[in-house]
Structure 1
Amino acid sequence: MITVEGLTKTYGGFTAVDDVSFSCRPGRVTGFLGPNGAGKTTAMRVMVGLTPPTRGQVTIGGLRYRDIPNPGRHVGVLLDASAQHAGRTGREILTVGARTMGLPTSRVDEVLAQVSLSQDEAGRRLRNYSLGMKQRLGLAHALLGDPSVLILDEPANGLDPAGIRWMRDVLTGFARAGGTVLLSSHLLHEVELIADEMILIGRGKIVAQGDKKTLLAGAGAASTLVSSLDDAALAAGLRARGVEVEPAGEGLRAHAEPAEVGRAALELQVVLTDLRLGNAGLEDLFLELTADSQREGHVDGPVDGPARRTEGVPA
């Protein structure tokens, strides 16, 4: 369980995180969504003790991160997959982590297999890793202590489509086993496929939170993708019922719930070939709520210290 209460972080006159409060529950994946520079990384750095808050607090299992004994055994962290010694091999990086946490070295082979890094890949130096391999190694490091909580910043960055699906399966499996996952991203579609709940942040403030259905219902933004054997008749019938309809791909987008569209098709005796909840409603909501952050050059505030250290283990 992660509990964030009134979290605020300022740098001089710049407020990176502004009175943010939310919770992440066991057995669920929580998506932390916002444009680049919205405050996600700063908030996560505060969560794991890398940046001191100006106000507010974050507890994990009722304790601040710095007060958790051997925190890597309880909280797995991945904030920057490149924040390791470039001259060490993947195996050496994991071995150092295992020894720091008092784990047997056999755990290294277990997590390497879990993230699909081969023995040959584990023997390469980090400087020779692709970004996708670094992400896999970073997740292996986060999983090393068999934690109950994962805090991950843009973990799918650099992964190919197969790798993204693999990451999705790993994290949903972790949550189904009772774990708590907080996953940040600036990519809506990446998160909505996996997240049970979503927190939308823009310019350091939470602008919306809830599951997908709740967010759409609150914004009145229901959208349905539909195709049929007679789209023209279906579109005319929906418009006659006061539903806004527009072409979309090989079918239509109706701004109504799928059940409403299905009932209309039944009454019109039009055979449907596809009927599903559309994504544009949520995407439009996301862009609208974070519009003032959707620009190049907006940054997430200064980074404390000489380097962005992201290990989820005690120093």
Structure 2
Amino acid sequence: MIEVKNLSKRYGDFVAVDDVSFTCKPGRVTGFLGPNGAGKSTTMRIIAGLTPAGAGTATIRGAAYRDIPNPTLHVGVLLDASAQHAGRTGREILRLSAMTLGVPMSRVDDALAMVSLSKEEAGRRVRNYSLGMRQRLGIANALLGDPGVLILDEPVNGLDPAGIHWMRTLLRDYANRGGTVMLSSHLLHEIEIIADDLIVIGHGKIVAQGTKEELLAGTGAIVRAADNDQLGRALSAADVAAHPADGGGFRVEVAPDVAGRIALDARVHLVELRGGDGARLEEMFLQLTQKTQRDQTTVNQGVQS
């Protein structure tokens, strides 16, 4: 289990992580999401003992990473697949890791088999690897000590669709055997498929966390009018949070009867009014991190959200 309590990290006047608390549980895959610069990588580096915390704690099975004897036997970490010795072969890198960990050399072949790197590929120098192959080698290194916890930052970068499916299956099986997986990725569709729990961070603060089912459950209402601009103004005047919905109209954060009453009072002709469907992860992510996005497009200026 990974447990983070009141974690903060400051670089001069910049607050990278601001009083963050969450738990990643055994037997579950936890998706860690946020825009660029939100604090994901800093948080993961603190958990993995690579960056000191300014305040708070980050523990793995009750201990800080630096206090775990031979920690890579217990925690597998992949934060940057490109940070591997380009002049060595994949097999050499794993053999050196096995010697450092004190695990049998047979684990090298086991790890290569787990990540589907062939004997020929393992014999190539890493400088000749594709990004996807480096990802596989990095995963093999993380799994070499048969750890109970995996911390992975963007592990599917560079993988083709077959590789992404392989990664999904590997991590699902790992969690099903009782392992703890903390996974960061910008491929929200993949997170939506594999994750059991979600943590969303923005500007260094947790903006949402819970099970995937809880966070993506249908709430509010879908409302669409003959004149959506008029509807947008009515919702804005009523101080109702509204977000553009697929096919036109809005997803609103009030019950259908409240949205209907607002439209009636404003004499807006509705063509659709129903309870909110389960949100997609991308939609939820954009709503929760709306104020922390680097790239924003102004849509429906009459609606405040």
TM superposition score normalised by structure 1:
0.75
Q: Which amino acid aligns with 2:198?
A: M
Distance 1:221 1:157 in 2: 35
1:267 match = none
Instruction: State yes or no: 1:117 paired with 2:113.
Output: no
Match of 1:288 in 2: 287
CA distance, structure 2, for counterparts of residue 78 and residue 179 of structure 1: 16
Q: Deviations over 1:19-75 (max 9, x none)?
A: 110001110000001112211110010001110000011110111000001111100
Count of paired positions: 253
Structure 2 distance, partners of 1:46, 1:255, is 37
C-alpha separation between the residues in 1 aligned to 2:183 and 2:167? 11
Q: CA deviation at 1:278?
A: 6.7
**Other-structure match for 1:106:** 106
| Residue 179, structure 1, aligned to residue 192, structure 2 | no
Higher relative contact order structure (alpha carbons within 8 Å, sequence separation ≥ 6):
1
Alpha-carbon offset, residue 176 of structure 1: 0.2
Using the TM superposition, give the Cα deviation of residue 254 of structure 1 relative to its aligned residue in structure 2, in angstroms: 11
Deviations 1:139-173 (A, max 9, x none): 00000000000000000111111111100000000
Unaligned stretches of 5+ residues in structure 2: 223-244, 253-275, 296-305
CA contact 1:221–1:281 (8 Å) conserved in 2:
no
Match of 1:91 in 2: 91
Q: Which residue of 1 aligns with 2:194?
A: 194
Could you tell me which amino acid in structure 2 is paired with residue 51 of structure 1?
A: T
Q: Percent identity?
A: 67
- The 8 Å contact of residues 115 and 137 in structure 1, kept in 2 or not, is answered as yes
CA RMSD of aligned residues (A): 2.5
Aligned equivalents of 1:280, 1:5: Cα separation in 2: 29
- Code of the aligned partner of 2:55: R
In the alignment, which residue of structure 1 is the partner of 2:13? Answer: 13
TM-score (norm 2): 0.77
- State the 1:195 CA deviation: 0.4
Cα gap change, 1:121 to 1:7, in 2 (>3 Å) = same
Q: Which residue of 2 aligns with 1:48?
A: 48
Q: What amino acid is aligned across from residue 12 of structure 1 in structure 2?
A: G
Residue aligning to 1:144: 144
- The question of whether the paired residues in 2 share the 8 Å contact of 1:32 and 1:40 is answered with yes
- After superposition, the C-alpha distances for 1:71-106 in whole angstroms (9 at most, x for unaligned) are 111000000011111101100110110000001111
Distance 1:79 1:186 in 2: 14
Match of residue 214 from structure 1 = 214
2:61 aligned residue: 61
Equivalent-residue separation in structure 1 for 2:142 and 2:116 (angstroms):
14
Structure 1 Cα separation of the partners of residues 17 and 290 of structure 2: 17
Q: Is the 8 A contact 1:28 1:179 kept in 2?
A: yes
The residue type paired with residue 166 of structure 2 is W
The one-letter code sitting in structure 2 at the alignment partner of 1:100 is T
Q: Distance in 2 between matches of 1:247 and 1:86?
A: 46
Gaps of 5+ in 1: 224-245, 257-276, 297-315
Q: Secondary structure at the match of 2:194?
A: coil
* Aligned-partner Cα distance in 2 for 1:247–1:60: 41
Shift of 1:212: 2.3
How many Å separate the matches in 2 of 1:42 and 1:65?
A: 15
Q: Distance in 2 between matches of 1:247 and 1:291?
A: 17
User: Aligned partners of 1:222, 1:2: CA distance in 2, in Å?
Assistant: 36
Q: AA paired with 1:132?
A: G
